């Protein structure tokens, strides 16, 4: 029986391996991690990540051909294919700090693979990494290999959180990059056979290693660019009286453009977009491509601008001060249907409001209190981030509650920062009655019915929508 081992039981490794196990009864899949609490959670009824549909998949395979373990070395030694899905955060210090990927975890995983292997193996890059990482990893493996053959493949994951199971079940494409040698081609075929258990052959694309690595960065850069483009338009819509949803609808009808990923928002978040673009910027700079680097940098800068602009809207609408005022924050996750907060726009918005001494009351249906407080306590990496967004937490200014009505009770304003479905159907009449007057709603996700809320009496700001007379003459752009 073929054995697969995945190093790293995170948002990518966990669901991806569960899906392989579900679809490949003839393959044993072990997911290993150095973090014992994470592995314990994967082995419990309370999985470490919230992802619709994941519980059922894990239940169906766990103990059958899907195993979670901290015995990293044993499972790596036994495996025919080793996926590496460890974290690759942005480097915090040293050369390339703030942009380059930190490959410490990757390197230590590679060295460990070389140390414990006694049979030939295929090593698969699953985490997003800079272009040419495979080459570096290949060197580490082959210089420490004791005669064992390693084939490196790049197999970037395109799943989005919140829809991971769907994305894995019916991927638009599976990408496999490898060496163009006979052994490289053989390794590509072996991995292709795994996916072919459930993915139609014409959706499995093979190419050279660097193309596969770059394709992942390129896909995320283009997706993020669409959001920054529409967010840039949202500012212009507010200035001119156009409605960004109407503009996006009209634009998306062009089949060359397409309708998806054109929702204006308070800003994109998530573990990938910013990190991957910064990575791309760094690679461009290292290759002397300054203009190209600056082009992509601008996508991140517009995202920062959008978050800062939102904070400015809140503060200027509320008589230019939120000092001492209770503000409800509805939603903290970086998107709906996930408990993940990595790079969430909510973090910057909350920091901005805390910087202006607001009293925040935060509600999110999936993110824990501890996570929110931890996120707000950490100082943000300053890479071209506006100074006023870089405030560290004074916990006196934040409370985290488990009920949206408690969060909004007595508040001067409500900020909707994640598009959770439940925010569409809250009892806004009841919320209005319990709030200070004038009562403000700032919708960073365009989930509420603006006209309904205005009828109730709220002063409403919705990203990229025609402005309330109240907000109209107040300054819109953050100071540079």
Binding-site annotation: residue ranges: 8-13, 33, 38, 86-90, 127-128, 161, 272-275, 342
Told to check if 262 binds ligand UDX by CB under 6 A, we report: yes
DSSP letters along 379-435, please?
Answer: PPP-SS--GGG-----GGGEEE-S-HHHHHTT-SEEEE-S--GGGGSS-HHHHHHHS
Q: Which stretch binds ligand UDX (CB under 6 A): 66-74, 219-227, 309-317, 456-464?
A: 219-227
- What string marks each residue from 314 to 353 as x (binds ligand UDX by CB under 6 A) or -? --------------------xx------------------
Query: Nearer Cβ to ligand UDX, position 160 or 289?
Result: 160
- Contacts of ligand ADP in 319-358 (CB under 6 A): none
Selection from ligand ADP, ligand UDX, none that 233 binds (CB < 5 to 8 A by kind) is none
Instruction: Please indicate whether residue 272 is annotated as part of the active site.
Output: yes
What is the distance between the alpha carbons of residues 96 and 469, in angstroms, rounded to a whole number? 46
Phi-psi region of 124 (alpha: psi -120 to 50; beta: other; left: phi over 0): beta
CA distances from 84 to 23, 35, 119, 471 (A): 20, 15, 17, 50
- What string marks each residue from 15 to 44 as x (binds ligand ADP by CB under 6 A) or -? -----------------xxxx--x------
CB of 410 to ligand UDX, least distance (A): 29
Residues whose CB falls within 8 Å of the CB of residue 320, separated by 6 or more in sequence, listed in order: none
Query: Nearer Cβ to ligand ADP, position 165 or 453?
Result: 165
Phi, psi angles (nearest 5°) of residue 329 = -110, 115
3-state secondary structure of 28: strand
Of 124, 123, 120, 122, nearest to 148 by C-alpha is: 120
Among 28, 51, 157, 356, binds ligand UDX (CB under 6 A): 157
Query: Nearer Cβ to ligand UDX, position 277 or 435?
Result: 277
* From 24, 272, 284, 350, the catalytic residue: 272
CB of 411 to ligand ADP, least distance (A): 33
Q: Which stretch binds ligand UDX (CB under 6 A): 76-84, 143-151, 238-246, 262-270?
A: 262-270
Told to check if 378 binds ligand ADP by CB under 6 A, we report: no
Q: What is the CA radius of gyration of the chain?
A: 24
Told to check if 85 binds ligand ADP by CB under 6 A, we report: yes
Crossing angle of helices 345-355 and 290-317, rounded to 10°:
50
Sign for the pseudo-dihedral over CA of 408, 376, 318, 423? negative
Among 7, 165, 272, 367, binds ligand UDX (CB under 6 A): 272
Q: Which stretch binds ligand ADP (CB under 6 A): 80-88, 162-170, 208-216, 309-317?
A: 80-88
Are 232 and 201 within 8 A, CB to CB?
A: no
What is the distance between the alpha carbons of residues 444 and 310, in angstroms, rounded to a whole number? 8
3-state secondary structure of 17: helix
Query: Nearer Cβ to ligand ADP, position 38 or 336?
Result: 38
Told to check if 156 binds ligand ADP by CB under 6 A, we report: no
Active-site residues, by number, are: 272
């Amino acid at each position: 029986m073929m054995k697969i081992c995945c190093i790293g039981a995170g948002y990518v490794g966990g669901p991806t391996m569960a899906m392989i196990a579900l679809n490949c009864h003839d393959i044993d899949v072990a997911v290993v991690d150095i973090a014992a609490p994470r592995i314990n959670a994967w082995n419990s009824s309370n999985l470490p990540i919230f992802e619709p549909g994941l519980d059922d998949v894990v239940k169906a395979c766990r103990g059958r051909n899907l195993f979670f373990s901290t015995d990293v070395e044993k499972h790596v030694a036994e495996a025919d294919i080793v996926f590496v899905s460890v974290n690759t955060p942005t480097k915090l210090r040293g050369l390339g700090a703030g942009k380059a990927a930190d490959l410490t975890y990757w390197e230590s995983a590679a060295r460990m693979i070389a140390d414990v292997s006694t049979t030939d193996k295929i090593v698969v890059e699953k985490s997003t990494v800079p272009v040419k990482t495979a080459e570096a990893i290949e060197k580490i493996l082959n210089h420490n290999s004791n005669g064992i053959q390693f084939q490196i493949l790049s197999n970037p994951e395109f799943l989005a959180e919140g829809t991971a199971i769907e994305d894995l079940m019916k991927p638009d494409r599976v990408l496999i990059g490898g060496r163009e040698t006979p052994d490289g081609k053989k390794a590509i075929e072996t991995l292709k056979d795994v996916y072919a258990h459930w993915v139609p052959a014409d959706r499995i694309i093979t190419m050279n290693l660097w193309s596969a690595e770059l394709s992942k960065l390129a896909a995320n850069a283009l997706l993020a660019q669409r959001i920054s483009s529409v967010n840039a338009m949202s500012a212009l819509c507010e200035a001119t009286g156009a409605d960004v949803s109407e503009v996006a609808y009209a634009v998306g009808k062009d089949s060359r453009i397409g309708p998806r990923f054109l929702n204006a928002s308070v800003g994109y978040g998530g573990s990938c977009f910013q990190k991957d673009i910064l990575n791309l910027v760094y690679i461009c700079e290292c290759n002397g491509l300054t203009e190209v680097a600056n082009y992509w940098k601008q996508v991140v800068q517009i995202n920062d601008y959008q978050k800062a602009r939102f904070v400015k809207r809140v503060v200027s609408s509320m008589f230019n001060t939120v000092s001492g005022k209770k503000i409800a924050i509805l939603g903290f996750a970086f998107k709906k249907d996930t408990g993940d907060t990595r790079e969430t726009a909510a973090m910057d918005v909350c920091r901005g409001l805390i910087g202006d001494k607001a009293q925040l009351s935060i509600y999110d249906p999936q993110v824990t209190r501890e996570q929110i407080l931890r996120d707000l306590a950490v100082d943000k990496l300053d890479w071209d981030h506006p100074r006023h967004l870089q405030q560290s937490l004074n916990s006196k200014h934040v409370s985290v509650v488990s009920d949206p009505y408690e969060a909004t009770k007595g508040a001067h304003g409500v900020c909707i920062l994640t598009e959770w479905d439940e925010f569409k159907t809250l009892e806004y009449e009841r919320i209005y009655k319990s709030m200070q007057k004038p009562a403000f709603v700032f919708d960073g996700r365009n989930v509420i019915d603006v006209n309904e809320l205005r009828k109730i009496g709220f002063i409403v700001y919705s990203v990229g929508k025609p402005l309330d007379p109240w907000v109209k003459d107040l300054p819109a752009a953050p100071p540079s």
